[in-house]
Amino acid sequence: MKAELISVGTELLLGNIVNTNAAFLSRELAALGITVQRQSTVGDNTARLAEWVQSAKQRADLLIFTGGLGPTADDLTKETVAACYGDTLHFDAAEWQKIEAYFARTGRIPTENNRKQAMVPTNGRKIENRHGTAPGAWFTDGEKQAILMPGVPQEMQAMWCESIRPALEKSRPETLVSTTLRVVGGESAIETAIAPLLENENPTAAIYCKTGECEIRITARAANEAEGKAMCAAYAEKFRDILGDDVYDVDVPGPAWTLIRILHEKNLTVAAAESCTGGLVAAELTEVPGASDVFGFGYVTYWPQAKAKLLGVAPAVIEQYNVVSGQVAAQMALGAKEASGASLAVGITGLAGPGGGDAERPVGTVYVGVAKGDTVWVKHLRLAPTSRQEIRLRAAHSAIDLLRRAALGLPMPAQSLSAAEARSAAWAEKEE
Amino acid sequence: MKAELISVGTELLLGNIVNTNAAFLSRELAALGITVQRQSTVGDNTARLAEWVQSAKQRADLLIFTGGLGPTADDLTKETVAACYGDTLHFDAAEWQKIEAYFARTGRIPTENNRKQAMVPTNGRKIENRHGTAPGAWFTDGEKQAILMPGVPQEMQAMWCESIRPALEKSRPETLVSTTLRVVGGESAIETAIAPLLENENPTAAIYCKTGECEIRITARAANEAEGKAMCAAYAEKFRDILGDDVYDVDVPGPAWTLIRILHEKNLTVAAAESCTGGLVAAELTEVPGASDVFGFGYVTYWPQAKAKLLGVAPAVIEQYNVVSGQVAAQMALGAKEASGASLAVGITGLAGPGGGDAERPVGTVYVGVAKGDTVWVKHLRLAPTSRQEIRLRAAHSAIDLLRRAALGLPMPAQSLSAAEARSAAWAEKEE
């Protein structure tokens, strides 16, 4: 089945709003096995809209509209689409009562304009809106269908999840089940490794890359949910065989969520000492509800005297090795672990730019130290000098990944030192 | 002049990315007086793209493309649009050198595929990309123009601001000058106050609201830049007359940038002690290049023992007043100021949820303390229980705004205490 998304609203054409509806609906439709061929945004102009609907109706089996269902004169999606699908609208007393009740709750009286919102399809069907005054509409003309929803994202998403997605699912003979693997690392290296697995008929798999990590979404079509889950799990194993420990979790919002869960499970605690990331690691960890069970102390030590006072990094070590060095990262991690009493700690020092780099330490040079028990690991990151914020985010995510590996006892892609070596700073960085 | 925006990329049709480029470019074009008639998103399919470009070229004078300039086989925007505008592409040795140099910096060698990115228009012109490997392209066919930019928002925005907007401005008889006021606070209260000012012919003004703050963009059409600037400045005064100190700055990316600038100018330093915001204030401050001149110490004190150890908050005070209280916020601010030696410090404690609220302290209850000299101010925020992340962000932005007011010596919308009162904790919250 081929679909097109049509967003209606001059406010979108003026750029006053970012269109998040298109991305939401595209992902949802892809998960249903419906191909979105085109997304478009048009203004509140009847003639242009009618012309556009007619041509899109030729191209696609299903048109999904958002916006233009409001009470004002320029809200004309419903009338226009009805005409294109050979339908008309009629006044619905029950919808009108809902509108009056909705206004009454906020101490207002609906105007004559609001009666427009109580108009519903004559041959098609109305779609209930439990979160606002504008009902949706579903028109059918032979094999061609059009679905109209409000433009407000919360109302649209609720209507989609409560009414439309279930109806579309019911009309399919199969059940769709999805799972999302989350993978540490950059796009091109991963994509090359797994390219053959992305060419499968069922389950399908797709890769989406973000800053410093990728998502692999596996979707199975199956006779029932249990079978679909088993198919997804089996296919996920093929990715794990190739990507190993880089697959850090399944169906979570991000790496901090995984780390917090692992620390919970292992009854461990963590502390963070941050220089170039300036609190990003702490902020990501504390975004996870329940983080306070495993995270108590964060140190943002931007100045050398903060590193000395809070973490015990000796000024002489900074003097000798540079503040951006493995020696300092190791002492930051160790100092944070000891000062906080946490089981694990991370220390991060680097150059996020834009200024301050030189040939030896270009912008994007970051050292991450992780301390656990009597061991300290140090990783030298050479990040591309993209932007200050991206360097900081990549460094934070690398730090969270090293903490995950250390918490799980996985092999560490980093130089390993004893706490005594880290404390003395008398060690040399190994060439990688 | 009528324009259409065309975003190219299957990743957009799959919903993997929210299309923020469309909103950015729509705003920019509206400010240039160019009407965006339609936005559309199409996939990486040559035949469909060519058909689409031909029909859009009929409708609009200017087509603006984003995406599809990459090195892979399915990146075909440039070839397709060239053909539609009667142009061809040729290999550009200078661009190829740039690509090789870019790869060399990260220790890599470009592949044969990357040569595609060095292809530039034969009759039209290339547009320099200072932030990536893909140059843009500008094709002309009689009165009809097409502009191609990369899809990565940072690269696209830089190319727009550095090359394309200036060229479009030059071709206009008038000069357009814009300025953006940034305003603390929520949408509806501000919008009501300034509604009449948004209905002006020249300069125009528009409001865009984000989490906890709004932008007001003023755009003047004038004979020259100096006249336009003067018009914008005069119109900005009308907003300042209504909104007062809530207008925190002009033409900056966010409140942290303003605070860092003010601290620089006043030769002040700042420290942050964070509980519920968990490092967000420190992370926002350190996102600003040069933050290290004024910010050295951040404390993420998630546990009571961290508040005691790092900030000297007595466990008895937490016991008596609750960890989410003005007394604790005041002691956190004072403790951070004294431990760091900074001129100003903030302390933040609250309930970001989703769990943990009760009738007395619902989720969204946050106390912010600010210490400066011998004074401590305490503000009780009652934030809507939207989401954990939104509560944290609003709390962080309120904290940054209180720091700004304290640094400037503005009236503080908060309860004022002496340092001795804050230290003893023997004070009561005033009813507001």
H, E, C per residue of chain A: CEEEEEEECHHHHCCCCCEHHHHHHHHHHHHCCCEEEEEEEECCCHHHHHHHHHHHHHHCCEEEEECCCCCCCCCCHHHHHHHHCCCCEEECHHHHHHHHHHHHHCCCCCCHHHHHHHEEECCCEEECCCCCCCCEEEEEECCEEEEEECCCHHHHHHHHHHHHHHHHHHCCCCEEEEEEEEEECCHHHHHHHHHHHHHCCCCEEEEEEECCEEEEEEEEEECCHHHHHHHHHHHHHHHHHHHHHHEEEECCCCHHHHHHHHHHHHCCCEEEEECCCCCHHHHHHHCCCCHHHCEEEEEEECCHHHHHHHHCCCHHHHHHHCCCCHHHHHHHHHHHHHHHCCCEEEEEEECCCCCCCCCCCCCCEEEEEEEECCEEEEEEEECCCCCHHHHHHHHHHHHHHHHHHHHHCCCCCCEEEEHHHHHHCCCCCCCC
CA distance B207 to chain A (A): 8
Do A63 and A53 contact (CB within 8 A), yes or no?
yes
Q: Note the pLDDT of residue B108.
A: 73
CA distance A223 to chain B (A): 24
Phi first, then psi: give them for residue B182, nearest 5 degrees.
-110, 135
What is the Cα–Cα distance from A224 to A210, expressed in whole angstroms? 32
Cβ-based contacts of A274 with chain B (< 8 Å)? 279, 282
Do A407 and A268 contact (CB within 8 A), yes or no?
yes
Of B212, B224, B55, B68, whose CA–CA distance to B149 is shortest?
B68
Contact B299 A296 (CB under 8 A): no
Q: Note the pLDDT of residue A188.
A: 61
Of the candidates B17, B39, B283, which has its C-beta nearest A23's C-beta?
B17
CA distance A137 to chain B (A): 23
Cβ-based contacts of A338 with chain B (< 8 Å)? none
The residue assigned the tokens 């009454």 is A104
| Closest chain A residue to B293, measured at CA | A303
Do B15 and A27 contact (CB within 8 A), yes or no?
yes
Q: Is B204 helix (H, G, I), strand (E, B) or coil?
A: strand
Contact B303 A281 (CB under 8 A): no
CA distance B55 to chain A (A): 11
Give how far Cα B268 sits from Cα of A301, A305, B293, B296, B419, Å.
Answer: 18, 17, 9, 12, 19
Q: Note the pLDDT of residue B14.
A: 82
| Closest chain A residue to B108, measured at CA | A384
Give how far Cα A284 sits from Cα of A56, A59, A330, A377, B6, Å.
Answer: 43, 44, 22, 22, 35
Contact B42 A43 (CB under 8 A): no
Question: Rounded mean pLDDT of B256-263?
Answer: 98
Lowest mean pLDDT, pick from B42-51, B321-330, B354-363, B371-380: B42-51
Summarize pLDDT for B268-285 with one digit per residue, the tens: 999 999 999 999 999 999
Of the candidates B14, B276, B286, which has its C-beta nearest A302's C-beta?
B286
Q: What is the ipTM of this complex?
A: 0.77
Q: Note the pLDDT of residue A385.
A: 84
Q: Note the pLDDT of residue A205.
A: 86
**From edge to edge, which strands make up the β-sheet containing A344-350?**
A415-418, A375-382, A365-372, A344-350, A270-274, A295-301, B295-301, B270-274, B344-350, B365-372, B375-382, B415-418
CA distance B3 to chain A (A): 10
The residue assigned the tokens 């009561």 is B428
Instruction: Please list, residue by residue across A160-169, b when 16 or more beta carbons sit within 10 angstroms of its beta carbon and e when fewer do.
Output: beebbeeebe
Tell me B162's DSSP state: I
Cβ-based contacts of B399 with chain A (< 8 Å)? none
Contact B16 A301 (CB under 8 A): no
Contact A279 B298 (CB under 8 A): yes
Summarize pLDDT for B288-316 with one digit per residue, the tens: 999 999 999 999 999 999 999 999 999 99
Contact A206 B310 (CB under 8 A): no
pLDDT tens-place values along chain A, 432 residues long: 899 999 998 778 888 788 999 999 998 898 788 889 999 999 877 888 899 999 999 999 999 999 988 776 667 889 999 999 999 999 999 999 988 887 787 677 787 778 888 999 999 999 999 888 889 999 999 999 999 999 988 889 999 999 999 999 887 777 788 899 999 976 566 777 888 898 888 998 887 777 778 888 898 888 888 999 999 999 999 999 999 999 999 999 899 999 999 999 999 999 999 999 999 999 999 999 999 999 999 999 999 999 999 999 999 999 999 999 999 999 999 999 999 999 999 999 999 999 989 999 999 999 999 999 999 999 999 998 888 999 999 999 999 999 999 999 999 999 999 999 999 999 999 976
Cβ-based contacts of B18 with chain A (< 8 Å)? 18-20, 22-23
Q: Note the pLDDT of residue B187.
A: 56
CA distance A294 to chain B (A): 10
Tell me B412's DSSP state: P
Cβ-based contacts of B187 with chain A (< 8 Å)? none
